[in-house]
Homo-oligomer: A and B are copies of this chain.
């Protein structure tokens, strides 16, 4: 036989069980998005290369997959590339369709993206992103709703999480009050390591990064911030008293916490000044969600941006969004054994038969069962019973209806519960009742 065929490295086939589990995640998330009035869109897999280039930094440009028609010479190829994320195509979409859209525009998008990254464990060249954004409003209700969505998605999935919350304006305020407004990135990178390397090492790094002794000392009250979120915010108000932007950030935080109380949000939320993801891009709130019972890093993240569509010539449109990491959520659900058991099989019952007449008899039953929306299969040949049972086992079908001459003459089937091994003769009415439970 020829060599087994294979797929490109960094890509994956998803079999039936994986697909059922992935659909469970996506359907759960979609269901929550829709409760909040977000609507789905899709953009093409390929974008003009000009839409993509220069949007992800120099490194990102190198990770773009380019597309070429088979018949074309490379030099003549119209320049297209595969989608690298959902954010840039979304910005392109909003600008291109702005006359058709009504703002605030609440959209979600669940599609694969492609990156020519070096494949490694947990990093793929094709993977799904699952983004939800509201754009065209600077109301903090956007932040509130996204936090509520996080709460509800993980409640439904059964994953205990902590949401880390920060605000770019507070970080800017800190840099301002210590007299190093241009050092906001350096400061954030350094204090991000506080948990890992301790305060001494952080201070050393801050000096390496160009802060003077006075500035490092001024940062100490911030490094030592603790207590409840409310206590931290109170302390920050004093620390940031001379920074307009810093106080604005604190005020935004307070508004969000107040509104979360109004809607009785019970999510574990931590004001985390070390959180800095996408710092060059976010302008307000910054979110990151971590699973409490699995060591896997961030499973959801996002923030407020004020200039997403500016790259396509439409400035001044504020939005806020988050992205759910489907692959990591999958891994958490697997590790914690949280996938519902019934996902294993979509088929509720298999008919196993001893002969052609029995097979025809079974066909009549399937018609009635499917009319009750019961998923049914008939083993396609009246072959050895062991083989038919093996098929049910492999597909984890919970019931088998065995049909022989006795069953046909009494207008019944022999119903076998595959988990318990229990068997009993049942009529069609009894069968419908059993399967509809």
A residues sitting closer than 8 Å to B (CB atoms) are 1-8, 11-16, 19-20, 23, 34-37, 39-48, 51, 61-71, 74, 78, 80-82, 92-93, 95-97, 100, 102, 104, 106-107, 112, 114, 116, 126, 134, 137, 139, 141-142, 144, 152, 259, 262-264, 312-314, 346-347, 350, 359-360, 363-364, 366-367, 370, 373-378, 380-381, 390-391, 394-395, 397
Contacts and interface: CB of A to CB of B under 8 A. Distances in A.
- In the complex, the 4 A-B pairs of residues with the closest C-beta atoms, listed nearest first: A2-B313, A11-B44, A139-B380, A102-B394
19 contacts: A2-B313, A11-B46, A19-B41, A35-B373, A35-B375, A36-B377, A37-B347, A37-B350, A37-B377, A37-B397, A45-B114, A62-B69, A62-B71, A66-B67, A66-B68, A141-B359, A259-B363, A262-B364, A263-B363
A231 to B, nearest CB: 24
Contacts of A5: 48, 51, 92, 95-96, 312
Tell which of A48, A70, A139, A312 has the most Cβ of chain B within 10 Å: A70
A134 to B, nearest CB: 8
Contact of A41 (B7, B14, B264, B363): B14
Nearest to A117: B69
Contact of A116 (B40, B66, B71, B312): B71
A314 B1 contact: yes
Contacts of A46: 8, 11, 114, 126
A263 B380 contact: no
A372 to B, nearest CB: 10
Given A35-B376, A63-B71, A262-B364, 10 more contacts: A7-B43, A7-B96, A8-B47, A13-B97, A19-B39, A37-B397, A45-B126, A63-B70, A102-B395, A262-B360
Contacts of A314: 1
Contacts of A142: 380
Contacts of A13: 41-44, 93, 96-97
Tell which of A4, A43, A126 has the most Cβ of chain B within 10 Å: A4
A257 to B, nearest CB: 13
Nearest to A137: B380
A116 B70 contact: yes
A1 to B, nearest CB: 5
Contacts of A359: 141
B313 A3 contact: yes
Given A13-B97, A15-B97, A8 B364 contact: no
Q: Is the interface of A mostly helix, strand, loop or mixed?
A: mixed
B19 A346 contact: no
A67 to B, nearest CB: 5
A42 B14 contact: yes
A13 B7 CA distance: 28
Nearest to A259: B363
Nearest to A3: B313
A170 B234 CA distance: 85
A330 B3 CA distance: 41
A70 B74 contact: no
A41 B19 CA distance: 6
Given A70-B61, A313-B1, A360 B137 contact: no
A82 to B, nearest CB: 7
A34 B66 contact: no
